[in-house]
Amino acid sequence: MNERIGWWQLPPSVRAGVERILGETVLSAQSQSGGFSPGSADRVVLASGRRAFVKAVGTETNATSPVLHRREAAVARVLPPGVPVPEFLGMHDDGSWVALVLADVQGRHPQEPWQEAELAQVLDTLADIAGLELDADAPLPRYEDSLKRAFLGWEKLQSRPLVGIPAWEGGHLELLAGLARDGVAALAGNSLVHGDLRTDNILLTDAGPVLLDWPWAAVGAPWADALSVLVNARTLDPASGCVHFLAEHRVFADAGEQEITGVLAGWAGYFLDMSRRPAPSGIPTLRAFQARQAESISGWLRRRLS
């Protein structure tokens, strides 16, 4: 994934701001691996023995990441009761550095590659979240609006061809672009959507899965996150047999075959288009992972369309 800075590398003013939120001094910190943020991600131990989780990033590292931290803080305030998330304790924001402070969660990420039982457990949780009632006034975007531009990847590849584009994709650009447009409409719905689920954004605990990192939260199709989890499973293991969940798990009860195909086409075009771009500042591994996702989803699409 990505190399992180640690707690002790944060500016002293940021560490002091976090300690004011916690009301105690941080005695030790253990950096957490995984994910693509260039900022810190530390489980900290306080003077009393209490624990917390802190993640922080500054504009000098990556201009976009502080924006995402602020967005996550805003989302934390409007999530409905019943969503399994760490308790949000506060935010330090000095205009350049943003630090989020959350309750520490005892758990582990799902195994990679995904194991069948753990995948089923996460899908069960996502089905429960999809049934939660959202406040009609919650300031969350519509998921179809959030991804409208992202799902134009195939059209961008038509207008600016990618050298070395795989033969099947190159021969079906018009078809894939049309499917992706259908995929945007398929994302509409009235359920809470996390919008960025992979193993590194999920913790398995004794009480069940806990979902981390919510800056992309939206309102959309009740099966959108579950499909993203299957995409992650196939990306980590192209031979994964997880597709049987599409027909068997309750979270996909309202997902039609054409809708699934459309969303997969949208994601495949997005990841392929993004993979050819320069790496974002401080996140050198992202483009390679996006290329891997594009390859996995395109292979899935070929089988669905054959």
Separation of alpha carbons 198 and 233, rounded Å? 8
**Mean pLDDT value across the chain:** 95
Q: pLDDT tens-digit profile of 223-255?
A: 999 999 999 999 999 999 999 999 999 999 999
Please give the model's pTM, rounded to 2 decimal places.
Answer: 0.95
Average pLDDT rounded to a whole number, residues 38-49? 95
Structural domains in the chain, CATH included, are 7-103 (3.30.200.20), 116-305 (3.90.1200.10)
- Predicted local confidence at residue 140, as pLDDT: 97
Separation of alpha carbons 243 and 150, rounded Å? 24
Q: pLDDT tens-digit profile of 201-230?
A: 999 999 999 999 999 999 999 999 999 999
Separation of alpha carbons 150 and 220, rounded Å? 16
Helices 257-275, 286-305: axis angle to 10 degrees equals 150
Q: pLDDT tens-digit profile of 109-167?
A: 999 999 999 999 999 999 999 999 998 888 999 999 999 999 999 999 999 877 888 89
User: Which tokens is 195 given?
Assistant: 């919008």
Average pLDDT rounded to a whole number, residues 30-48? 90
Helix (H/G/I), strand (E/B), else coil: 292: helix
Average pLDDT rounded to a whole number, residues 62-85? 95
Q: pLDDT tens-digit profile of 183-207?
A: 999 999 999 999 999 999 999 999 9
- Predicted local confidence at residue 136, as pLDDT: 84
